[in-house]
Copies of this chain bind each other. A is one copy, B any other.
Amino acid sequence: MRACIAFAVILLTMACAGWARAEDGYDLWLRYRPLPPAQMKLYGGRASQLVLAADTPTQRATRDELQRGLSGLLGRDIPLTQTVLHDGAIVVGTAASSPLIARLHWDTRNLGSEGYLIRSAVIDGHAATAIVGNSDIGALYGAFRFLRLLQTGQHIDRLDLHDAPHLTLRVLDHWDYLNGQVERGYAGASIWDWWKLPDWRDPRYTDYARANASIGINGSVLNDVAGGATILTPTYLQKVAALADVFRPYGIRVYLSIRFSAPIEIGGLKTADPLDPQVRAWWRAKADEIYRLIPDFGGFLVKANSEGQPGPADYGRTHADGANVLADALAPHGGVVMWRAFVYSQANPEDRAKQAYDAFKPLDGQFRANVLVQVKNGPIDFQPREPFHPLFGAMPKTPLMMEFEITKEYLGFATHLVYLGPVYEEVLSSDTMTHGKGSTVAKVIDGSLEGHRLTGMAGDANIGTDRDWCGSDFNQANWYVFGRLAWNPSQSSRTIAEEWVRMTFSNDDAFVKPVVDMMMGSREAAVDYMTPLGLVHLMGPGHHYGPAPWDASEAEADWRPVYYHRADKQGIGFDRTRSGSDAAAQYAPPVAAQFSDIQQTPERFLLYFHHVPWDYRMRSGQTLWYELVAHYAQGVEDVKRMRETWRGLHGYVDEQRYQQTASFLAIQEKEAQWWRDACIAYFQSISGQPLPPGYAPPEHSLKYYQSLSFPYVPGFSSW
């Protein structure tokens, strides 16, 4: 007995050492810490043995994850067995991989190739839980779901649930360069160690795949859309193939961003004209070469004729011509092209918000079947708030892929706590009205509205070499919610936030509720202290850090904040009605009518669609000027309250993660105050209006805010 206690003490010490170190965020939401004894006991009877085949890499990954998860959560190893010996067996697999499952004769047609069902059943006379898919990957997804049930403290007796992804392609877009920089990345350098690949396969690559598979992400675009052509050279394709090998067991395909002029740069051709036979042949040969190395290669992502990138327009060809030459090269192998609609040009005098629609709508129906047009959530560029993109619903013959930004380029980089679930949900639930009421953006991208089977959602990743992957613990929630919504775009972002909090921090309701509330309110707070009432693009030039509503230094007019807010002595806002750019007319008639009428326009979009007098009466009865100041002030107040909330939760989480969040919230409050003060100081200098009573004046002069410079802002590729 004494020996045993000594032994236990030794283990306890080791455990604590490991434990302490572990709380650095590396585990993400796959944090399999021992559950409270009561819960262990509750689940114990339902997890007595594990029955599954381990013949394929995916089956072995499923076995390893269940063993790792269950042993961590329940504090004991669950024996692997061939048959069901007693109650509490967990039987995992497909009808093909498991005779036990085959004998159940369950109808799994509605699960598709990636879905799963989890059902309590009696197998060989014993109470068991069956996790069943039509494929190994389906079973793996089911295993992660089963673990999530335990992680979030739900009952696992009398289970009968099934789920399947609503979208085909659920993809992370990495904006990583081959030199290790990450465009708009705030979590360190690229996690791809290109230099040591393919020889050295960092174990972190496997953990990356585990995390993605756990939320259903099935694709990864490894490199930035503005990168060069080197990634397509044989040397680098070897490296890409090594990553594909690591990801494959987890159902993740690799994709590459390609440079449209690659046939010239690495192919030695004189042109990249998509209609040139040599160019077409070069892309076909390149695709063949890639698929010899990576049989399940996903395809290409392309940014063409936008922000200086080469493209088909350089040869007088259309985006469809450009996409189709790639599509034809990939089609024989089952690959797809994700062609970005984020195009605009300084040469085009038209309102930047209108250019993507103008360029792509006429091309509807001209793209090959294996092309998706990838559209950002809004017409500008991932602003704290924008209306949904008018292309959604406007190209019924073309599969439109949603592009959300997970990295917080415009939302406080690594440090600000801004949960993006509400951003995504707001856009997905927006009604395009293109097929009458209920024609939501979600239904456009899941294909149900226009009958597309090829569908997808892309998220611009916030992942880097930081130990916690995302630059902060709360940034992990944005990776998580993206994946969960890509699986099913009609889910509630609050439900997903709660799930994440329970898995990442604690199941204690005294902690969960306030933290979820804080997360759900965090985005509106950021909108208020950055760009309230439909303002957009007020941030610093180039690096996008901090407020610079006064800035007119950028070379391109439509990169200048003044282009967007149009503040003058009379008022503020961008007139996008008939009397202005008429961008509102790009939406379906009922929506266009609403946005064109200042009375009907939701105030959250007011200054996006209308140039409004400073003394305009808002619904509150107050003037626009008053409301503008009030929103800026509210944003700061909200962050103050977030800090209080977190202070009140000390002790519910480990010290390391508590302190980091506390420090970051302090930075956020300081910067929210800076945004409020700088923007009010500037707009006041234009409006000439006195500050409403009760509102503190800016801490410094407008000159001071204009004088600030930031030579080493992270995530800015010109460093």
Q: A residues engaging B (CB < 8 A)?
A: 1, 4-15, 17-19, 21-22, 24, 26, 32-34, 68, 71-72, 75-77, 178-180, 188-189, 194-196, 199-201, 203, 230, 414-415, 465-467, 656, 660, 663-664, 666-667, 670, 711-714, 719
Say yes or no: A414 contacts B34, CB within 8 Å. Answer: no
Q: How distant is the Cα of A7 from the Cα of B10 in the complex, in angstroms?
A: 12
Instruction: Decide yes or no: A19 and B21 within 8 Å by CB, A11-B12, A13-B72, A76-B6 being known contacts.
Output: no
- Taking a contact as CB atoms closer than 8 A, the residue among B7, B180, B712 that contacts A178 in the complex is B712
Provide the bound-state CA to CA distance between A122 and B491, in Å.
71
With A4-B8, A11-B11, A179-B719 in contact, is A72–B17 under 8 Å at CB? yes
Cβ 8 A contact of A199, one of B9, B18, B663: B663
21 residue pairs from A and B, CB less than 8 Å apart? A4-B5, A4-B8, A9-B77, A10-B76, A13-B34, A13-B71, A14-B72, A17-B32, A18-B18, A180-B189, A180-B714, A188-B465, A189-B465, A194-B712, A196-B415, A196-B663, A199-B666, A199-B667, A199-B670, A201-B663, A230-B711
Bound-state CA distance A1–B189 (Å) is: 50
CA distance A185 to B211 in the complex (A): 30
Q: Look across to chain B and name the residue whose beta carbon is closest to the beta carbon of A715.
A: B195
Min CB gap A162→B, angstroms: 31
A14 touches B1 (CB 8 A): no
Answer whether A77 and B13 are a contact pair too, CB < 8 Å, given A1-B4, A21-B18, A179-B712.
yes
Residue A200 contacts which of B32, B68, B660 (CB distance < 8 angstroms)? B660
- A75 and B9 contacting across the interface, CB-CB below 8 Å: yes
How many Å lie between the Cα of A664 and that of B199 in the bound state?
8
Oligomer copy total: 2
Which B residues lie within 8 Å of A719 (CB)? 179-180
| A8 in contact with B6 (CB, 8 Å) | no
| Bound form: Cα–Cα A57–B18 in Å | 25
Residue numbers in B under 8 Å from A1 (CB-CB)? 1, 4
Q: Which residues of B contact A713 (CB under 8 A)?
A: 195
Please report the C-alpha to C-alpha distance between residue A200 and residue B667 in the assembled complex, in whole angstroms.
9
Docked complex Cα distance between A719 and B228 (Å): 14
The residue from B22, B76, B179, B467 contacting A467, defined by CB atoms under 8 A apart: B467
Q: How far is the CA of A656 from the CA of B203 in the complex (A)?
A: 8
A304 to B10, CA, bound (A): 55
User: What's the least CB distance linking A60 to chain B, in Å?
Assistant: 16
Q: When chains A and B are docked, how far (Å) is the Cα of A178 from the Cα of B201?
A: 29
Q: Which of B33, B195, B663 contacts A712 (CB 8 A)?
A: B195
Q: A418 to B263, alpha carbons, bound, how many Å?
A: 41
Q: Is the CB of A17 within 8 A of B8?
A: no
- What residues on B are CB-neighbors of A188 within 8 Å? 188-189, 465
Please report the C-alpha to C-alpha distance between residue A714 and residue B15 in the assembled complex, in whole angstroms: 37
Minimum CB–CB distance from A357 to chain B (whole Å) comes to 37
A666 proximity list for chain B (CB < 8 A): 199
**Docked complex Cα distance between A200 and B188 (Å):** 15
User: Closest B-chain residue to A73, C-beta based?
Assistant: B13
- Docked complex Cα distance between A18 and B189 (Å): 26
Contact partner of A75 among B14, B18, B76, B180, CB < 8 A? B14
Contacts of A180 in B (CB 8 A): 189, 712, 714, 719
Other 8 A-B pairs with CB < 8 A, given A14-B19, A14-B34 = A10-B75, A11-B14, A15-B18, A17-B32, A17-B68, A18-B19, A18-B22, A195-B713
Q: Determine the residue in chain B with the shortest Cβ distance to A178.
A: B712
Whole-angstrom CA separation of A414 from B19 in the bound complex: 29
A188-B189, A189-B465, A199-B667 given as contacts; is B712 within 8 A of A75 (CB)? no
Bound: A77/B667 CA distance, A: 38
Of all chain B residues, the one with the shortest Cβ separation from A708 is: B235
Q: How far is the CB of A667 from chain B (nearest CB, A)?
A: 5
Taking CB atoms, residues of chain B closer than 8 Å to A19 are 14, 18
CB distance from A512 to the nearest CB of B (A): 23
In the A-B complex, the 5 residue pairs with the smallest Cβ-Cβ separation, listed nearest first, are A18-B18, A10-B75, A11-B11, A14-B15, A15-B15
Contacts of A10 in B (CB 8 A): 34, 75-76
- With A13-B77, A18-B22 as given contacts, are A667 and B196 in contact (CB-CB < 8 Å)? yes
Tell which of B14, B196, B465, B667 touches A18, judged by Cβ atoms closer than 8 Å: B14
CA distance A531 to B183 in the complex (A): 39
Residues of B within 8 Å of A200, CB to CB, are: 415, 660, 663-664, 667
A661 to B10 alpha-carbon distance, docked (Å): 30
B230/A76 in contact, CB under 8 A? no
Q: How far is the CA of A4 from the CA of B11 in the complex (A)?
A: 12
